[in-house]
Amino acid sequence: MITPDDLVALVRNYNPTCDEALIRRAWDYGARMHDGQTRYSGEPYFTHPVAVASILTEMRLDDATIVTALLHDAIEDTRSTHTEIARMFSPEIAELVDGVTKLTNLQLSSSEAKQAENFRKLLIAMSRDLRVILVKLADRLHNMRTIRSMRPDKQAQKARETMDIFAPLAGRMGMQWMREELEDLAFRVLNPEARNSILRRFITLQRESGDVIARITADIRLELEKAGLDCTVYGRAKKPYSVWRKMQEKDLAFSRLSDIYGFRLIVDDVAQCYQVLGLIHQRWRAVPGRFKDYISQPKSNGYRSIHTTVSGRDGKRVEVQIRTREMHEVAEAGVAAHWAYKDGARTANPFAVDPAKWIATLTERLDSSEDHDEFLEHVKLEMYSDQVFCFTPKGDVIQLPRGATPLDFAYAIHTRIGHATVSAKVDGLRVPLWTRLRNGQSVEIITAEGQRPQASWIELVHTGRAKAAIRRSLREEDRERFVRLGRELTRVAFENLGRRVSDKALDTAARKMGLKGPQDLLARVGSAELSARGVVEQLYPELVAVQTEEIDAARPVVGLEPGQTFRRANCCQPVPGERIVGITYRGKGVVAHAIDCAVLAGLEDQPDRWIDLRWHEGRHPAIHTVALELTISNSTGVLGRVCTLIGEQKANISDLRFLDRKPDYFRIFLEVDVRDAEHLYRILTMLNAENDVAQVIRLRDPTRQP
């Protein structure tokens, strides 16, 4: 453990006018409060607060933040109180320590509902004073560096929490070095075999090709020296987790990966940034689509730099980042640069953002989310985002996260425009709505009156705002569809008992079931939350006989004469609960057609062949085959989910064939065995509710033999 003198020396390196007495007093107080406590490793507990303070000195933070680090566990783990810290140090430090304590008590890996509420609290704490989260991030970094002393299950929990929350939050705050180290430490716990494999491959690569970084660095310096430019050049191999993530995203083997090396070129002013860029592109071939100018379009956290990827020595791709020294300070410290000290004074860095404004951009629109899942999805997307800047036809700039599509662009302008989008033009060319936008592109949204969001749009958009707006619209549209479906189901259920459904009957049933009214009742029946039979039972319990045995599959209808055979028509495939009529066929007996079957129009002049039939009331066996045509997205696991949904409804798939295969979708033919109309409608409802199912059609073909 470093001594008080060592810590003071670290602070005085960047802030010679620091309050040395305050830091020493906090050290003594913290050591006294934690006396006798130990960590999992057996070390004195106070070594941890000291290590956290040491990490924060690397960011050149103010005295209050350093003291907060020394005391950050005092209120939670000792007899220390908020009042005592305020009296001995300052109200500001007491508030910071209290903020860190509250963050520590948040269970960020708990249930979805609890996690969403705790995320809200985290954002509120950040909005009050961002230094609270800086201390918490340093606390998490030291805990991850020493995680090996914890139980394996606790290691896995902390590593997942770090990967999901703290690492992306550090990246969103512009502290890329901390994000990379947190990811790598978590990766070491969650997938040690993969990490070790990548490290071994790096060693093999270096043995086979020598020190590539040193050679490329020398090449770059030579070009810059020829131009008379004073430039600092840093080169490094990318972190194992960064390499692993790229292998997973692009489904590539390590040997096929490019740009696993990165180089930073630091110059004196902005003009030299572009001069160096020109020299790099003259000497090496630029890789198309891999250029980003964050100097002219900075990220919201203050990050500025030029990124380009070139084919370097031996054809190896390398990423090059070019920035000024002031930009580099912000790139290293991120939002923390706002509090950074240099030579005893707060750094007047023109690129350091105001934390209050940054927090406002992060939390904007998050409170509009209506449910926990939406909020979590939105905030995590915002934390993970890298920015792209696109232009409207009028030249206005729209800021979006990397991976955004024209639909995201439309919803960023206005929800009404997003809902009405039918297509888009990017740089004057019409493109699909799933196109990923790039920096500097001009986007024109084409709308149409009457257009409504589709369920498949959820998978096309990237921003939380667009996803939330689409889901709200789909919920409203689904309710209308469920009401229509529920009305048909209840009509069938009432008519099976010889009754007619009426608004008064539905209103009475709704009141008895404690629902808001007939519309609410019908929506619940249509969405399969309630059964139509249950609604009838509320009004006519004496007429609803509980069937202990299934209807005889050989005689499922009423109206046949003795000896007459019966079967369902192949052309319309009617099921129990639907209105039917019987048609006699020579040698085939009686064939039941749905009352709306197109075949019946050709038999109107043969009334002697028509027989009045109706289905027996009661529980029919699930043997009535219905043909369906599904259009599903060509994604992993979609067909399996479709089959599982049908199986969960206690229905059997008797046939499955692919009708069409495309890169982005499949069209499939299914035959499903159902009991009755209600059973069929419930299956159709479940399939329509699945995001990856674009369309479900019940096939009725009059050309098929009856």
CB atoms within 10 A of CB 282: 11
Q: Work out the average pLDDT over 100-124.
A: 57
pLDDT given at position 114: 47
Does a structural domain hold residue 354? no
Does a structural domain hold residue 600? yes
**169 and 81 in one domain?**
yes
Helices (H), 34-130: 47-57, 63-71, 74-77, 82-88, 91-105, 112-128
Q: Please report, for the domain that includes residue 622, its CATH number.
A: 3.30.70.260
Given a contact cutoff of 8 angstroms between Cβ atoms, the answer to whether 352 and 303 are in contact is no
Q: Work out the average pLDDT over 416-428.
A: 91
Output the DSSP codes for 182-217: HHHHHHHHH-HHHHHHHHHHHHHHHHHH--HHHHHH
**178 and 283 in one domain?**
no
127: pLDDT strictly greater than 90: no
**87 and 59 in one domain?**
yes
pLDDT given at position 548: 43
Output the DSSP codes for 651-693: -EEEEEEEEEE-SSEEEEEEEEEESSHHHHHHHHHHHHHSTTE
Q: Which listed residue (19, 20, 58, 76) is catalytic?
A: 76
The pLDDT-based confidence of 52 (bands split at 50, 70, 90) is: very high
**223 and 177 in one domain?**
no
More confident residue, 72 or 497: 72
Backbone angles phi, psi at 222, to 5 degrees: -65, -45
**239 and 217 in one domain?**
yes
Q: Work out the average pLDDT over 644-657.
A: 87
255: pLDDT strictly greater than 60: no
Last residue of a domain, one of 294, 312, 346: 346
499: pLDDT strictly greater than 90: no
Sheet with 624-633, edge to edge strand ranges: 652-661, 665-674, 624-633, 693-698
211: pLDDT strictly greater than 80: no
Does a structural domain hold residue 693? yes
Please report, rounded to a whole number, the percentage of residues in the chain having pLDDT higher than 70.
Answer: 84
pLDDT given at position 321: 93
**Residues in a beta bridge with 584:** 590
pLDDT given at position 648: 80
Q: Please report, for the domain that includes residue 146, its CATH number.
A: 1.10.3210.10
* 231: Cβ contacts below 8 Å, ≥ 6 apart: 221, 224, 265, 266, 267, 272, 276
Q: Please report, for the domain that includes residue 245, its CATH number.
A: 3.30.460.10
**599 and 493 in one domain?**
no
In angstroms, the CA 126 to CA 140 distance is 16
pLDDT given at position 208: 63
Does a structural domain hold residue 461? no
**DSSP run (H or E) holding 9:** helix 4-14
pLDDT given at position 387: 64
CB atoms within 10 A of CB 514: 7
pLDDT in tens, 342-395: 655 555 666 666 666 666 655 554 444 444 455 555 555 455 445 677 888 887
Does a structural domain hold residue 418? no
What is the residue whose two structure tokens read 């000896």?
A: 563
Q: Which listed residue (77, 507, 617, 671) is catalytic?
A: 77
Q: Work out the average pLDDT over 468-491.
A: 81
**579 and 528 in one domain?**
no
**146 and 218 in one domain?**
no
Does a structural domain hold residue 574? yes
- Tell me 551's DSSP state: P
Last residue of a domain, one of 539, 574, 597: 539
**DSSP run (H or E) holding 467:** helix 464-496
pLDDT given at position 562: 80
pLDDT given at position 272: 92
Q: Work out the average pLDDT over 536-551.
A: 67
The pLDDT-based confidence of 492 (bands split at 50, 70, 90) is: confident
For residue 317, with 0-12 CB atoms within 10 Å meaning exposed, 13-18 middle and 19 or more buried, which class applies?
A: middle
542: pLDDT strictly greater than 80: no
Q: Work out the average pLDDT over 516-535.
A: 82
Tally of helices (H runs) and strands (E runs) in the chain: 28, 23
Does a structural domain hold residue 491? yes
Q: Give the chain's domain count.
A: 4
User: pTM for the whole thing?
Assistant: 0.53
More confident residue, 631 or 364: 631
Side-chain-side CA neighbours of residue 194 (13 Å): 20
Given a contact cutoff of 8 angstroms between Cβ atoms, the answer to whether 492 and 533 are in contact is no
Does a structural domain hold residue 246? yes
Output the DSSP codes for 228-273: T---EEEEEEPPHHHHHHHHHHHT--GGG----EEEEEEESSHHHH
113: pLDDT strictly greater than 50: no
**559 and 664 in one domain?**
yes
Of 177-181, 305-309, 685-689, minimum mean pLDDT range: 685-689
Residue 77: active-site member: yes
Work out the mean pLDDT of the chain and round it to a whole number: 81
Given a contact cutoff of 8 angstroms between Cβ atoms, the answer to whether 173 and 336 are in contact is yes
CB atoms within 10 A of CB 630: 21
Of 4-8, 177-181, 202-206, minimum mean pLDDT range: 202-206
430: pLDDT strictly greater than 80: yes
**603 and 487 in one domain?**
no
User: Nearest CA to 682 among 696, 692, 702, 701?
Assistant: 696
The pLDDT-based confidence of 210 (bands split at 50, 70, 90) is: low
Last residue of a domain, one of 160, 189, 218: 189
56: pLDDT strictly greater than 80: yes
645: pLDDT strictly greater than 90: no
More confident residue, 347 or 666: 666
pLDDT in tens, 65-101: 999 999 988 888 888 888 999 999 999 999 888 888 8
Q: Domain range holding 325?
A: 194-346
593: pLDDT strictly greater than 90: yes
User: CA separation (Å) from 475 to 83, 120, 236, 468, 479?
Assistant: 50, 25, 50, 11, 6
Of 12-26, 177-191, 506-520, 691-705, minimum mean pLDDT range: 691-705
The pLDDT-based confidence of 20 (bands split at 50, 70, 90) is: very high
337: pLDDT strictly greater than 50: yes
**69 and 154 in one domain?**
yes
In angstroms, the CA 89 to CA 64 distance is 9
173: pLDDT strictly greater than 80: no
In 392-534 the beta strands, taken as DSSP E runs, fall at 397-401, 421-426, 429-431, 443-447
**233 and 178 in one domain?**
no
Q: Work out the average pLDDT over 171-194.
A: 86
Residue 259: active-site member: no
Of 294-303, 362-371, 514-523, minimum mean pLDDT range: 362-371
